[in-house]
Amino acid sequence: MYVAGMSSWTWVCVMGGALVCVGVVTRIVCRQRRRLPVPRDVVLVHHFFGRGWKVPSKSPFPMKLETFLRITKTPYMNDHSGRMSAKGKTPWIEYNDTQVSDSQFCIEFLKKKKGIDLNRGLSEQQKAIARAFLKLIEENLYWALCIELFCNEANIPLLKPMSPLKGLGFWLYYWFVKRSIKSATWGHGIGRHSVEDVWTIAQADIQALSQYLGQKKYFMGEEPAEIDCTLFGMLSFLLVTMQGTRYESFTKQNHANLVTYFQRMKSSYWPDWDTLITASESFQNDQGPTHYSGLSFILTC
């Protein structure tokens, strides 16, 4: 069937493309209009799509950044709208009109601007060890956790309650996230291993963390250091988001010192944890929208 010189299929494609363009432009315009009025000298933290179901953040990196701000008592405000940085990474921050992305660069930036240094009590060798563990956690263990959660089908029942999308929406989301992780981890290298091989790698990392922590109050000693922010963020992912997986039970059974460490950090720096998780009855939205539903996410402002 032809209308105005174009077949009906061409019309369908043209209209579909036009709708997508309108949706994207509307979203961009709405986001720009909706910039939060943040005061001077207050850090605006852009989170990964709002608070989590049982953890204040779905991703360990905003947890790391926010824990750092809490330990250092830096004034900050949260934005849960899900805006991404120019690098396509999140979390990211804005501070007095400067944007910084990547959680580690954000921390380095704030150290310089605010003159704070959680590592000042560490020797040079301790700083070096802390950096090595930072990389073990963020460049290796993190990917192992993602692979287990999204590429091991045994964990699908755990993901379903966490996701605000149900039915077909959940399956589309799951397929999309799994595909992204497989693609990123293939390039990284760790994704070329089977899920069982990745499990072996993760056990070695968790063991190393437990062995180095030992019976210390914080990872490096008696005072919290930057690495504690990273480790706490990753443990909240491992022990709470991944609750019910073999990774969590392995850690609880064999490396209980990591669990007690996590509880200590949580009660010291996150006493309001229960008001920041959507599964809790006492949940309070501490800034910006915290939920979304499927396609309406693209079109709502």
Residues in the site for another protein, rule: CB under 8 A? 87-89, 102, 105, 124-125, 127-129, 131-136, 139-140, 183-190, 192-193, 197, 200-201, 204-205, 207-209, 211-212, 214
- Contact between residue 138 and residue 230 where contact means Cβ atoms under 8 Å apart: yes
Give the nearer residue to another protein in terms of CB position, either 114 or 182.
182
- Contact between residue 122 and residue 194 where contact means Cβ atoms under 8 Å apart: no
Compute the least distance from the CB of residue 263 to another protein, in Å. Answer: 21
Compute the least distance from the CB of residue 75 to another protein, in Å. Answer: 27
Among residues 49, 199, 220, the alpha carbon closest in space to that of 132 is found at: 220
Torsion, Cα of 175, 178, 183, 188 (10° steps): 180
Compute the least distance from the CB of residue 217 to another protein, in Å. Answer: 16
Compute the least distance from the CB of residue 137 to another protein, in Å. Answer: 9
Residue 14, SS3 per DSSP: helix
Give the nearer residue to another protein in terms of CB position, either 198 or 276.
198
Compute the least distance from the CB of residue 59 to another protein, in Å. Answer: 13
- C-alpha span between 13 and 131 (Å, rounded): 51
Give the nearer residue to another protein in terms of CB position, either 225 or 276.
225
Give the nearer residue to another protein in terms of CB position, either 151 or 240.
151
Compute the least distance from the CB of residue 208 to another protein, in Å. Answer: 4
Q: Which helix (H) or strand (E) holds 93?
A: strand 92-95
Give the nearer residue to another protein in terms of CB position, either 160 or 188.
188
Give the nearer residue to another protein in terms of CB position, either 138 or 148.
138
Determine the straight-line distance between the first and last CA of the chain, rounded to whole angstroms. Answer: 37
278, two tokens: 């959507």
- C-alpha span between 135 and 1 (Å, rounded): 60
Identify the residue whose tokens are 């061409």: 10
Q: Is the peptide bond before 75 cis (omega within 30 degrees of 0)?
A: no
- C-alpha span between 6 and 250 (Å, rounded): 61
- Contact between residue 31 and residue 81 where contact means Cβ atoms under 8 Å apart: yes
283, two tokens: 């949940």
Compute the least distance from the CB of residue 206 to another protein, in Å. Answer: 11
Residue 59, SS3 per DSSP: coil
Give the nearer residue to another protein in terms of CB position, either 71 or 190.
190
Give the nearer residue to another protein in terms of CB position, either 35 or 135.
135
Torsion, Cα of 294, 295, 299, 301 (10° steps): 0
Compute the least distance from the CB of residue 196 to another protein, in Å. Answer: 12
